[in-house]
Amino acid sequence: NAGVTQTPKFQVLKTGQSMTLQCAQDMNHEYMSWYRQDPGMGLRLIHYSVGAGITDQGEVPNGYNVSRSTTEDFPLRLLSAAPSQTSVYFCASSSQGADEKLFFGSGTQLSVL
Amino acid sequence: ELKVEQNPLFLSMQEGKNYTIYCNYSTTSDRLYWYRQDPGKSLESLFVLLSNGAVKQEGRLMASLDTKARLSTLHITAAVHDLSATYFCAVHQGGSEKLVFGKGTKLTVNP
């Protein structure tokens, strides 16, 4: 099993550009989530999903969109990138919900110039 | 709103010494997690603490949970260099599907 796979690993954007961070898991997990990690801030929840077709906002959702059309995939979209979105992004999944142990992807380092 | 505080945020210790990292949280929860992150890497799960009084140990690390005090501790015994990493506690926000992380404790173990 590959676990949780994130692509790309690194990305540089210009302000105003759009892009999608990809996340896929092969563990048949119902729960998937996106976090951003900034120095001194820990991890902050952006969006999460409890199953295909169901998404909800986390702590810092502004500027990000998500959808969950399949159990396996949970892409994160930046519609118009801003320098404040420079961060490391982690996708995580668990078998049922946020009260189960999370499995993390390897992260995407995003820089917005 | 659930707040999670860790302290200290930075910890430099000598090999062979003992120390404790603290994780306090502001509202009732019955599930707490400890994760480890090596520099430039992802997070890996260390412990899952599910009830009051829970204690888990692996190697030189021992975690405990006191839900009444809203406090978890991660105790390091006879530290070795390989334990150098950032340690995060994360608390499940009851009645939601949200996990709230502390800011992390960066541990450096010096020879």
**How far off is chain A from B103, nearest CA to CA, in Å?**
4
Residue B33 Cα, gap to closest chain A Cα (Å)? 8
Answer whether residue A97 shows pLDDT above 80: no
**What percent of chain B has pLDDT above 70?**
100
Phi, psi (degrees; rounded to nearest 5) at B59? 60, -125
CA distance B105 to A24: 29
pLDDT in tens, A42-85: 899 999 999 999 999 999 999 999 999 999 999 999 999 999 99
Give the chain B residue whose CA is nearest to the CA of A108.
B42
Q: Which chain A residue has its CA at the smallest distance from B98's CA?
A: A98
**pLDDT score of A101 more than 90:** no
Residues of chain B contacting residue A90, judged by C-beta atoms under 8 Å apart: 42-43
| Structural contact between residues A26 and A2, judged by C-beta atoms closer than 8 angstroms | yes
B30 is written with which tokens?
């019955």
Does B24 have pLDDT greater than 80?
yes
**Picking from A17-21, A31-35, A92-96, B94-98, which range would have the lowest pLDDT averaged per residue?**
B94-98
pLDDT at A1 over 90: no
Chain A hits for B32, CB-CB cut-off 8 Å, are: none
pLDDT in the model for residue A111: 97
Strand order in the sheet with A76-78: A4-7, A19-25, A76-78, A64-66
Structure tokens at A56: 């909800």
Average model confidence (pLDDT) across chain B? 93
Q: Calculate mean pLDDT across residues A28-38.
A: 95
pLDDT-wise least confident of A52-56, A96-100, B12-16: A96-100
Q: Using the structure block, give the residue that is written with the tokens 């210790």.
A: B13
- A16-36 average pLDDT score: 96
* pLDDT > 80? residue A98: no
**Does B104 have pLDDT greater than 90?**
yes
